[in-house]
Structure 1
Amino acid sequence: MPSTPVSLLLASASPARRTTLIAAGVTPHVRVSTVDEDATVASAEAVNGPLEAPDVALLLARAKAEDVVSTIEAEEADAADQGLPDDLLVLGCDSVLELDGEVHGKPADAAEAVERWQRMRGRSGVLHTGHWLVDLRHPDDGGTGGMVGGTASTTVHFAQLDDDEITAYVATGEPLHVAGAFTIDGLGGPFVAAIEGDPSTVVGVSLPLLRELVRGLGVAWHDLRTA
């Protein structure tokens, strides 16, 4: 295990993922990917056929990580000043909700969010979060050049909401910006009756899984901590 700190770059605009990492002592750099999620899934399914929900989450996590890595490498080739350290691990994440065998990401609009909640209320779904980690450290600093990935899955039990509650929640705008149209760490918290599994998976980054992936690249979790 390395004895020097290692930096994490989060390839995601999600404030919930960043906040979760910071609460665990890891303050990440952030670069947002430009991946077209629908096109990425459609392209993969054209080759491989329909994908299972955990595979969709992992596919998109990998695409986001590799997109950001490509941007960083292009900047290095152009000698651009990116303001990033040399000891980076790049993390891509993506979450989808599996309900009735269907895969759901963010709702397209308020009407879809309302319809989604009318289906979810009083029932259970599985939130899958894919993770893809790329080691960009120099070999002299312990870099492996490796990539590791995995998907964490947590069962979510939704409360029995009435139509007025659904309409009021969707009107806040929060469900439009999150996978599955709900949160457990925000305004949607009162509408989640229970979960079975890792809570941080539902927020969008599984801390236990991330620790294992980091270890797979020869890095101890405490070497990522900035606090």
Structure 2
Amino acid sequence: MRLYLASTSPARRALLAQSGIEPVHVAPGVDEDAAVAAVASALGRDLTGPELVAMLAIEKAAAVADAPLADDAAAPAAGAPIDGFVFGGDSAFEVDGVLYGKPHDPAVARDRWRQMLAAGGGTLWSGHCVIDRRRALDTTDDRPGGAGRARTAPPVRTVDASGGGPLGLAGSVADVAPGGSGLVADGDRVVAVDSAVLTFAEDMSPEEIDAYVATGEPLEVAGAFTIDGRAAAYITRIDGAPSAVVGLSLPVLRSMLLRGFGIAWHDLWAL
């Protein structure tokens, strides 16, 4: 069973590999800023954390799942038809009601660290979307799951994406509270949002901030930190799945596959 990773994040790919899954890596090519701006304009307001990460996760997964397929199905390489599940993910860090993406610039990263330390911590929002693109299904299989397939129904909250307005299916997980999670299904896709509340060290000095930013590590990650790198020493507590902070919640992804499609986690292991 193949899992296609619609992401350019090396952290997500490494996290899956460490869990025994070797995903097929496909860049989604989504203009995230434009996508967020379009939905925010239609709504007439900024997106919340759960809305933003769920919407972008859906956009990324759909960009790969709905792309034209080549004819060569011989190998799970570039150009081969998709045959399996497509995963899209996105993350954002929220501090005192403000959402932080990738800082890019060292000065911005230093300023964000000062704000995060002043607040004491924040909430990491992690959006997930899994789209079923299996090319051949056994219709005699009586296992649970198979969102949108004949004779089956996903044991997750089933919704109609059209009821979410400009947000679509992402609107159905907009009520997730900090530290909580939610899963919904519609047709051939399952969408989820997970979150983790982080607490930072109270005694982190300006010199430590400068030293960390100088490494370049925080510049291209949501919230300007990673827990699987140099910033781990500055995070004193995580309430939630640690993997959600890295880039995707492994427990939630497992639940999406099992409860939404009847696929066991070990079915994706590279043996």
Structure 1 unaligned runs (5+)? 1-5
Deviations 1:55-106 (A, max 9, x none): 10111111111112233xx133xx3674546531000000000111011111
Aligned counterpart for 2:14 among listed residues 15, 19, 36? 19
**SS of the residue 1:33 aligns to:** coil
Quick one: distance in 2 between partners of 1:124 and 1:172?
21
Aligned counterpart for 1:132 among listed residues 129, 135, 141? 129
TM-score by length of 1: 0.90
Matched residue, 1:7: 2
Quick one: distance in 1 between partners of 2:234 and 2:219?
16
Report matched runs for 1:180-195 at 5 Å: 180-195=223-238
Matched residue, 2:201: 159
Compared CA separation, residues 30 and 147, structure 1 to 2 (3 A): same
TM-score by length of 2: 0.76
Amino acid at match of 2:191: G
| Residue 219 (1) aligns with residue 263 (2) | yes
Report matched runs for 1:69-84 at 5 Å: 69-71=65-67, 74-76=68-70, 79=71, 82=78, 84=80
Structure 2 unaligned runs (5+)? 140-145, 150-186
Matched residue, 2:28: 33
Matched residue, 1:3: none
Per-residue deviation, 1:225 = 1.1
Deviations 1:159-197 (A, max 9, x none): 132111111111111101111100111111111111111
Amino acid at match of 1:168: A
Give yes or no for contact 2:92–2:222 (8 Å, CA) kept in 1.
yes
Give yes or no for contact 1:95–1:204 (8 Å, CA) kept in 2.
yes
Quick one: distance in 2 between partners of 1:8 and 1:89?
5
Paired residues in the alignment total: 218
Compared CA separation, residues 141 and 13, structure 1 to 2 (3 A): farther
Per-residue deviation, 1:15 = 1.4
**SS of the residue 1:75 aligns to:** coil
Compared CA separation, residues 32 and 185, structure 1 to 2 (3 A): same
Deviations 1:122-143 (A, max 9, x none): 6110001000001110243567
- Provide the identity percentage: 44
